[in-house]
Structure 1
């Protein structure tokens, strides 16, 4: 075999190994029930339970934030995030957590929030004030 053929095969093998390693480390979406059954990281989508207490005390521990969230399947769980409380967290419409269950708590390593759009009000106003068609 030529050296260029061997080099090409090595490059292809490395590319395949990189692709496999990237796809094996991706976490999947699930619920709190599924998170209890697995030890790998999951993405859990849900809404903040505003009736229960949010705990964040920056003077005691600025890297501890806990709250209760209900996932899309209706299961509720206490969530612990080791980081600062995100700004406007209470206003979020939807939350996506990345993390895993430890005991009865979901320990989140990342929080993504879907906040209400500031453009929704303008969109509604433009729909309300549509021009009437001219009569002939």
Structure 2
């Protein structure tokens, strides 16, 4: 075999290995029931339950934050995040958690939040302004 053929086969083998490793490390979406059945990390989408307590005490333990979240099918679960509480967490419209169930708690390794649009107030003001202009 030529050296260029051997080099080409090695490059192809490395590319296949990289693709397989990237594919296997991605987590899929589910709900809290799916997380109970799965031993790997899962992404769960839901909303914060504002009626239940948020626990974060920066003086006692700055790397412990817990709250209750309701997933897209209505299941509620206590979520524990080993990190600081994200800024404006209570204002989030939707939360995407990456993690896994340990016992009856979902332990999140990452939190992504969809916050309310900062442009919503501007749209409201524009509609009010147009309504006033039309009445003049």
Common fold: TM-score over 0.5: yes
Aligned counterparts, 1:1-136, within 5 A: 1-128=1-128, 129=130
Deviation at 1:43, TM superposition (A): 0.5
C-alpha distance after superposition, 1:6-44 (max 9, x if no partner): 111110111011011100110001000000000000010
Structure 2 residue runs without a partner (length 5+): none
- Between Structure 1 and Structure 2, the one with more helix by share is 2
CA distance in 2, matches of 1:33, 1:67: 18
RMSD value over aligned CA atoms? Answer: 1.3
C-alpha distance after superposition, 1:68-123 (max 9, x if no partner): 00001100000000011111110100000000000000000000111111111212
TM-score, length basis structure 2 = 0.92
Poorly superposed stretches of 4+, deviation over 3 Å = none
Structure 1 residue runs without a partner (length 5+): none
SS in 2 for 1:10: helix
TM-score, length basis structure 1 = 0.92
